[in-house]
Structure 1
């Protein structure tokens, strides 16, 4: 009698656990909008001529992969193709997430790091110009052919 009750209890708990696991495997929730950048970063925008510039893209790649500066290697966490290789690193291939950020927000996050994550501040290792070049390269993963337009506050085709 006890083994029958135990078997029923075990079966019921097993079914509940499987159901809970399957319900957690549903669609990913849309990402939450990021906080606005602080005032000192709010008016920083990509320099003219950087979006879609193949030379800037190549320089950004060299910085991102650590080829230009051995102290900076974004690819060690975010992957050479924007696919994270370390847990918690942002997936730059997800355009729907990338679009939530303005260029000034990306600049702020790279400069100051991201509180509560392993993303550290890079402003001591990278110049402002180098940070913009990295942003051009990162945006190319999830938003190819697009640029951030401060006037419309949206990502738009480069032209």
Structure 2
């Protein structure tokens, strides 16, 4: 082999390694929302309703049920306190998921993670309120509708 051929092979191998690392870091495809949850949506007006957000804050901070305290893992402002918890301040993460997806994961939990199912402790309205409150973290603490082009259904 010539020196030029060896050089080209090294460059090719480096490109493959760099590209494969990038693919490993790319967000994996989302699992589809189960049919039982696909038609579940935030009630009209709840994303920005001050009363709903106040109730959601109580749920999130652990003031509604002694076994439910989202802030223990996700932090009081959405900044994770525990390894593996989602950063709820990150708009690219929060806006990636539909409201149906969020509801499904809050209600049923996330397999192979520490995120438990909350369906045995909270009713649907309490879960929606907590989701609305959590959503404000990705909007610098401001209430906002969850209508984003990047949401995957």
> Same-fold call, TM > 0.5?
yes
Q: 2:50 maps to which residue?
A: 54
User: How many residues end up aligned between the 2 structures?
Assistant: 129
Return 5+ residue gaps in structure 2 as ranges: 1-20
Pair 1:92-2:88 in alignment:
yes
Which residue number corresponds to residue 76 of structure 1?
A: 72
Q: CA RMSD in A?
A: 2.5
User: 1:31: how far off?
Assistant: 3.2
Residue number in structure 1 paired with 2:108: 112
Segments of 5+ residues of structure 1 without an aligned counterpart are 1-23
Q: Work out whether residues 77 and 84 of structure 1, in 8 Å CA contact, stay in contact via their aligned partners in 2.
A: yes
Aligned equivalent of 1:16: none
Distance 1:89 1:154, change over 3 A: closer
Q: Which has the greater radius of gyration?
A: 1
Asked if 1:148 corresponds to 2:146, the answer is: yes
1:131 maps to what in 2?
Answer: 127
Show structure 1 runs of 4+ deviating over 4 A.
152-155
Bigger mean CA deviation after superposition, 68-77 or 126-135? 68-77
Q: Larger RCO: Structure 1 or Structure 2 (Cα < 8 Å, ≥ 6 residues apart)?
A: 2
What TM-score do the two structures reach when normalised by structure 1?
Answer: 0.73
Give the Cα–Cα distance (whole angstroms) in 2 for the partners of residues 61 and 138 of structure 1: 8
What is the TM-score with the length of structure 2 in the denominator?
A: 0.76
More strand by share: 1
Q: Is the 8 A contact 1:109 1:121 kept in 2?
A: yes
